[in-house]
Amino acid sequence: MVKKSNRRKFINKSLVTLSGASLLSSCLTNEDKNETQNININFNKKFNWKMVTTWAPNMPVLGEGCNLFADWVQKMSGGRLNIKVYGGGELIPSLESFDAVSNGAIEMGSGASYYWAGKIPSGQFFSSVPFGMNSKQMNSWIISGGGYKFYREIYEPFNLIPFVGGNTSMQMGGWFNKEILSMDDLNGLKMRIPGFGGKVLSKAGGTAVTVAGGEIYTNLERGVIDATEWIGPYHDYLMGFYQVAKYYYYPGWHEPGGVLEMIVNKSKFQSLPSDLQEIIKKGIESLNIWMQCEFDSKNSVYLNKLLNEENVQLKIFPKDVLKSFKDKSNEVLQEMVDKDPKSKKIFDAYEDFRVKFKDWSVVSDKIYYEL
């Protein structure tokens, strides 16, 4: 009887929903009518936007994804919104994109929140945290677990709306010119590694170096740096690091899930008709899904190429080294939240979600992968 009762309630509820939909046009609020009118008034108007990126022009997956997004928006809008994509350095230097979008000179940009750590320290929590959440968990926290509320709050003073705009998925630990057998091997080691990871390496006795993507290979070849992390097997293969570094380490403790972002000038966004606003939102959501799938698919193929065709020596960091990295990561995070109230507020929310998700992962993903 209980099952029949529940089924009857479900059917009745569905019928009410359908009948309500037929009355929708007569029940529009003034706000709804104004929104519809706004679309109609601007329906024949075309908007031409610019997007700047921190990626090299047409960079595989990252730059390609931005080009795809612009193409999707153009098609979905019927040509009413056209976005011209500029790679890093084509219109402005890569790391000036935040300011250019913030002041309205450019409508939108693609990058990663840890690039702006000097402006918004707490923004780093929306990219990747050492030994923190992976790409699946980060998407869940930001999109459905309340993360967007904090993300948008800290970007509000800059007249920006941030969106989750892609994910590199789990990264690799990096390329090294010597084996890492203990913490002693990190003393004096010069490594290209950004964000939280760089601060952790410095605490471990190494030196974090900032090197532009196009200069990494040459610096590694000439011994200017001893090691580098980049992204994962696909991009590492294309960069040719296997030709100038002997050892390829995993896991990518520093970036277990590299969230990328799309930033949009808030004033420019709000000036668009509401249907074009929705097209941008849905286009970015599609980009986020496509990019992670593309990374995982390509990395699975190119890891095998590196191992089987280029004879790369794949190494796992020793357990004591990983433990030390984790301890020092906790120190870096604690120092940060002690200094910055906004970072503490966001980190508390981040940790609360991470712990809850970990319980779910134990009975879902973890047990499955161990079968």
| pLDDT tens per residue across span 40-93 | 566 779 999 999 999 989 999 999 999 999 999 999 999 999 999 999 999 999
C-beta contacts of 137-145 below 8 A and 24+ residues apart: 137/257, 137/353, 137/354, 137/357, 137/361, 138/164, 138/167, 138/257, 138/259, 139/164, 139/167, 139/259, 139/288, 139/292, 140/353, 140/357, 141/350, 141/353, 141/354, 141/357, 142/259, 145/353
Per-residue pLDDT, 213: 77
Averaged pLDDT, 318-338: 96
Residue 151 belongs to some domain of the structure = yes
Residue 366 belongs to some domain of the structure = no
Per-residue pLDDT, 75: 98
Residue 101 belongs to some domain of the structure = yes
Residue 132 belongs to some domain of the structure = yes
* Weakest mean pLDDT among 103-117, 245-259, 355-369: 355-369
At 16, the pLDDT band (50, 70, 90 cuts) reads very low
Averaged pLDDT, 3-17: 49
Per-residue pLDDT, 1: 52
pLDDT tens sequence across 95-111:
899 999 999 999 999 99
Per-residue pLDDT, 9: 55
Are both 101 and 189 inside the same structural domain?
no
Are both 182 and 246 inside the same structural domain?
yes
Neighbours of 69 (CB within 10 A): 26
Per-residue pLDDT, 30: 55
Does the pLDDT of residue 32 top 60, yes or no?
no
* Weakest mean pLDDT among 104-108, 201-205, 354-358: 354-358
What's the CA angle centered on 359, arms 353 and 360, to 5 degrees?
90
Of the candidates 126, 109, 118, the residue with the CA atom closest to the CA atom of residue 62: 109
Are both 290 and 242 inside the same structural domain?
no
Does the pLDDT of residue 303 top 90, yes or no?
yes
Are both 139 and 207 inside the same structural domain?
no
Are both 113 and 144 inside the same structural domain?
yes
* Weakest mean pLDDT among 100-109, 111-120, 320-329: 111-120
Domain span including residue 201: 174-253+311-339
pLDDT tens sequence across 230-244:
999 999 999 999 999
The position carrying tokens 């610019």 is 50
> Which two tokens mark 14?
């569905």
Does the pLDDT of residue 369 top 90, yes or no?
no
Task: Give backbone dihedrals phi and psi of 47, rounded to 5 degrees, phi first.
Answer: -120, 130
pLDDT tens sequence across 215-225:
899 999 999 99
The CATH number that applies at residue 56 is 3.40.190.170
The position carrying tokens 């935040």 is 98
Are both 113 and 228 inside the same structural domain?
no
* Weakest mean pLDDT among 5-9, 277-281, 306-310: 5-9
Are both 151 and 263 inside the same structural domain?
yes
Are both 136 and 245 inside the same structural domain?
no
Per-residue pLDDT, 214: 76
Residue 1 belongs to some domain of the structure = no
Averaged pLDDT, 247-264: 96
Are both 53 and 199 inside the same structural domain?
no
CA separation for the pair 62, 112 (Å, rounded): 11
Number of structural domains, the chain? 2
Are both 191 and 324 inside the same structural domain?
yes
> Which two tokens mark 10?
């479900």
* Weakest mean pLDDT among 202-216, 222-236, 330-344: 202-216
At 323, the pLDDT band (50, 70, 90 cuts) reads very high
Residue 191 belongs to some domain of the structure = yes
Does the pLDDT of residue 299 top 80, yes or no?
yes
Of the candidates 251, 226, 256, 259, the residue with the CA atom closest to the CA atom of residue 241: 226
Residue 36 belongs to some domain of the structure = no
Contact by Cβ (8 Å): 206, 189: yes
The CATH number that applies at residue 228 is 3.40.190.10
Per-residue pLDDT, 210: 80
Neighbours of 270 (CB within 10 A): 11
Per-residue pLDDT, 38: 58
Are both 291 and 234 inside the same structural domain?
no
Per-residue pLDDT, 15: 44
Per-residue pLDDT, 358: 86
CA separation for the pair 186, 324 (Å, rounded): 11
Residue 226 belongs to some domain of the structure = yes
Work out the mean pLDDT of the chain and round it to a whole number. 90
**pTM given for the model:** 0.85
Dihedral of the alpha carbons of 102, 65, 54, 297, in degrees to the nearest 10 = 130
CA separation for the pair 256, 133 (Å, rounded): 7
Are both 182 and 204 inside the same structural domain?
yes
